[in-house]
Amino acid sequence: MYFIFKCRMAWTKYQKFLALMMVFTGSINTLSTKWADKMESKNSVGEIRTFTHPFLQASAMFLGEMLCLLTFKIVYWLNRNEDNPQNTLIQGNQNFNPFILMPAAMFDLVATSTMYIGLNLTYASSFQMFRGSVIVFVALLSSVVLGRIITKKQVLGIVNVILGLAIVGITDAIYQSDEGKGRNSLITGDLLIILAQVITACQMVYEEKYVSGLNIPALQAVGWEGVFGFSVLSMLLVVFYWIPAPEHFDQNPRGTVEDFIDGLVQIGNNSLLLLAILGTIVSIAFFNFAGISVTKEMSATTRMVLDSVRTIVIWSVSIAVAWQAFHWQHLVGFAVLIFGLCAYNGLLPPLICCKRQPDEDERRIVINEPESNEDATSVAVVAP
């Protein structure tokens, strides 16, 4: 008796397009954000300072998500006279309360702001690799909130993800003296990114529990989260303008949590910085649309794997533009991390695929032996 596996159907041209869009725009988003963090510009008091405004960058990201809602409204208006519109961008349920997306937007707001602070303190490649830790927290929260059972394969994946992230973190700490970054900066940045993944996991579990069954169009869901996130963060920017920042985070002239006016002045004084911010705004809109579309067209597993693919793109570009030096330990950590992600999502083939003897329960199924090969019936056993 043999194990029989069914191969997945080939991707359609539209699915290939979505996959490429997700990898490309996701890579552009992280790289453009890190590019902005490395630029210098004249600030509000006339000093040439590095651009350090994570909350302003987070608001730019939500502005990009808002563009998805604008795009949805335009496409919906153009197809308003059709009884059964065929445009996949607007197909879905319209009978829902937008405020059900408000908690998801708040989780996204806190996670994104925390990640951008961490990105400013560590490397772009480490930032992307540490984002893979989200599956650990999603698995744990899903088991508690949704009653999911963590399988042995998922445990194997989680262990490998943790091991891969540990290799990356240790490498960052060991080679900090060669990169011009302090050990405290790198460790703090890495820990902040991991903390952000805990919050992101809360967002994913919430969306699966309360939003996934509503069949909301991808553009519309992303757009509403952008509206809520941008509205709340805009008010927080005013509050943060007056709150003193703790030591090592008071890098604007006022020494506050966020000086958005200073950030806008720096953007206005450097055209390349403006280009990087626009890259963040535009890329996040396309990335989120592609990500949700991949989930609907294919699966969440495919989305997670594609999100991992862009890690090596970001890592390669960071080395090519000399944002960081090449360390083979990073490559090992990345390989272990990818192995863990594949194991968690059940993408690894079985180690043994061969004949085996049927067990006692299977033998009971066979009542009469067929008299000839023509009468024989094959039995397929699907591997768990």
Per-residue pLDDT at 331 exceeds 90: no
Per-residue pLDDT at 185 exceeds 70: yes
What is the rounded average pLDDT of the residues 312-341? 79
In DSSP terms, which residues pair with 41 in a beta bridge?
A: 49
Is the model more confident about 295 or about 258? 258
- What's the pLDDT at 383? 33
Backbone angles phi, psi at 354, to 5 degrees: -150, -175
pLDDT band, very low/low/confident/very high, at 7 (cuts 50, 70, 90):
very low
Q: What is the pLDDT of residues 239-249, one digit of tens each?
A: 999 998 877 67
- What's the pLDDT at 237? 93
What is the rounded average pLDDT of the residues 281-287? 89
Nearest-CA neighbor of 69 among 202, 193, 227? 227
Distance CA 43, CA 49 (A): 7
Q: Which string of b and e fits 241-259 if b means at least 16 CB within 10 Å?
A: beeebeeebeebbbebbbb
How many of the other CB atoms lie within 10 Å of CB of 147?
7
Cβ–Cβ < 8 Å for 41, 51: yes
What is the rounded average pLDDT of the residues 73-89? 75
Range with the poorest average pLDDT among 190-199, 305-314, 343-352:
343-352
What is the rounded average pLDDT of the residues 304-320? 77
- What's the pLDDT at 376? 37
Q: Which string of b and e fits 159-172 if b means at least 16 CB within 10 Å?
A: ebbbebbebbbebb
Per-residue pLDDT at 353 exceeds 60: no
Per-residue pLDDT at 228 exceeds 90: yes
